[in-house]
């Protein structure tokens, strides 16, 4: 069966350099980007167990069973592994191991791995002993994250998760996490992690806990100062 290049009289962009009668033709292959996997299965699973999406569940009042919570962690780990294996180039260590508790003090033996590999390891460990319920951030949290304008991005800035330069995307959707001005991510990469884990992949800042504390504070009744004084004087 003829190849596409033969049928259409084109040149394979990945073909090596060839020389003919002192004429050299050089074709530079485009860098191999880590492709983003299909996360529809993950978000479908998440919608069935997330407290935020309880109204949309098939069983809105049912408590998630450990098997279903584990499935969400396994699903995201598998999707990230597809992204990792989709890169043909070796990815250098990021040095972010301690952010996930996987560095020298984590005892996991994952030193020297890039951030994506460490995220996968963390997800798999949690899947084996899942929490009672998902404790990730809300969708609203992801929607209001600060967007980074393309004009402010530099050519050497990359997403710590997919390791792709932000500016390789014509319309990059880069967000800055609240914990540090240098913690920039492609939203498509960091959003599923935030929805499931609720933490910054780099320094473990727990945004989900902060959200829960703010929600709890809003639920507390506000005691009016005038009412307190009225009570004192009958």
68-110 pLDDT tens trace: 999 999 999 999 999 888 764 544 444 444 445 443 333 344 4
The string of pLDDT tens digits covering residues 104-149 is 333 344 444 689 999 999 999 999 999 988 889 999 999 999 999 9
User: Which whole-number Å values give the CA distances from 40 to 36, 89, 201, in the listed order?
Assistant: 12, 27, 22
Is 229 part of a structural domain of the chain?
Answer: no
Residue 4 lies in a domain: no
Tell me if 16 is assigned to some domain.
Answer: no
Domain range for 108: 40-218
Looking at the domain assignment, is residue 57 inside a domain?
yes
Asked if residue 177 belongs to a domain, the reply is yes
The total number of structural domains in the chain stands at: 1
In a domain, 128, yes or no: yes
Does residue 233 lie in a domain region?
Answer: no
Would residue 27 count as lying in a domain?
Answer: no
Query: In the 3-class helix/strand/coil scheme, how is 98-164 assigned residue by residue?
Result: HHHCCCCCCCCCCCCCCHHHHHHHHHHHHHHCCCCCCCCCCHHHHHCCEEECHHHCCCCCECCCCCC
Compute the half-sphere exposure of residue 87: CA atoms within 13 Å on the CB side of its CA: 19
């Amino acid at each position: 069966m003829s190849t596409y290049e033969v049928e259409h009289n084109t040149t394979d962009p990945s073909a090596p350099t060839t020389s003919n009668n002192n004429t050299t033709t050089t074709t530079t292959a485009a860098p191999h980007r880590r492709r983003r996997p299909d996360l529809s299965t993950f978000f479908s699973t998440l919608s069935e167990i997330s407290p935020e999406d309880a109204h949309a569940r098939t069983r809105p009042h049912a408590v998630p069973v450990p098997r279903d919570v584990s499935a969400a962690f396994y699903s995201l780990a598998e999707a990230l592994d597809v992204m990792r294996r989709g890169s043909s180039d070796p990815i250098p260590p990021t040095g972010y191991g301690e952010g996930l508790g996987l560095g020298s003090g984590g005892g996991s033996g994952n030193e020297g791995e890039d951030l994506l590999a460490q995220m996968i390891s963390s997800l798999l460990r949690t899947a084996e002993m899942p929490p009672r319920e998902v404790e990730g951030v809300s969708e609203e949290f992801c929607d209001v994250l600060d967007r980074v304008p393309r004009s402010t991005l530099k050519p050497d800035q990359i997403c710590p998760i997919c390791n792709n330069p932000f500016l390789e995307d014509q319309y990059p959707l880069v967000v800055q996490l609240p914990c540090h001005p240098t913690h920039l991510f492609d939203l498509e990469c960091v959003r599923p992690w935030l929805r499931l884990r609720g933490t910054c992949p780099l320094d473990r800042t727990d945004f989900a806990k902060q959200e829960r504390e703010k929600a709890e504070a809003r639920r507390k009744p506000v005691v009016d100062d005038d009412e307190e004084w009225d009570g004192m004087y009958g």
